[in-house]
Amino acid sequence: MAIIIRTGTRRESSLDLAQKILKEHGGLSYLARASVEELKNIRGIGPAKAAQIKAAIEIGRRLVSTDQRERPAIKSPQDVANLLLEEMRYLDREHFNAVLLDTKNRVIAVDNISIGGLNASLVHPRELFKRAVIKSAAGIILVHNHPSGNPKPSSEDKQVTYRMVKAGEIMGIDVLDHIIIGDGVYESLKEMGAMEI
């Protein structure tokens, strides 16, 4: 962190400033969630330093997921978590994504279907299956995050899953699972036996 921000203030070295930011603002997870504007409000961090910090965080995220994005085959919920957990765990709004799979369960694409509010993500089967049809997907895994950090599925999550499974049956595209991502943890509705109401 000190290397990224390079210089401190008159009263603090870059190392002191880095330690202070990490201690007083909740560590690296804060840096991942904070906007450039929020970082600029920290004494000693201007627009350039804030942009450098956000760029470094993004490089780290991409590095973690680079190897997994080479059309991996999905064999378990853990494979989905390996693919998306780091990318989605710090999002401050619910993002509803679809992992589109071919007939051998290899990833064709990860599409963002919708971005909701702080505790709700609106998604319609039309949007989900439109992309699946365009990309000739044989199967779909639903993935969304809970900004609270708790991945326990809500009744709405279960209802959305049920609607998507039923729509998939009509479309001939299997909805294989629904993964909910929290802060470093996830839940699989399939593993929970909650794919149907």
Domain residue extents for the chain: 2-65, 71-192
pLDDT tens string 66-117 = 554 567 899 999 999 999 999 999 998 999 999 999 999 999 999 999 998 6
- Quick check: 47 pLDDT over 60? yes
Q: What pLDDT, on a 0 to 100 scale, did the predictor assign at position 68? A: 46
Contacts of 189 (CB under 8 A, 6+ apart): 153, 157, 158, 161, 177, 178, 179, 180, 195
Q: Which of 192, 186, 189, 165 is nearest to 178 (CA)?
A: 189
Residue type, position 117, single letter: G
CATH class of 71-192: alpha beta
CA–CA distance, 124 with 93 (Å, rounded to integer): 17
Of the pLDDT bands very low, low, confident and very high (cuts 50, 70, 90), residue 65 is low
- Residue 85 near residue 100 (C-beta atoms within 8 A): no
Beta strands in 49-159 (DSSP E): 95-101, 107-115, 139-145
What is the rounded end-to-end Cα distance, in angstroms, of the chain? 47
What pTM value is reported for the model?
0.68
For the segment 19-46, the average pLDDT, to the nearest whole number, is 86
One-character DSSP codes across 52-81 = HHHHHHHHHHHHHHHGGGSS-B--SHHHHH
pLDDT tens string 129-159 = 999 999 999 999 999 999 999 999 999 999 9
Q: Answer whether 2-65 and 71-192 agree in fold.
A: no
CA–CA distance, 85 with 81 (Å, rounded to integer): 5
**Looking at domain 2-65, which CATH architecture does it have?**
Orthogonal Bundle (1.10)
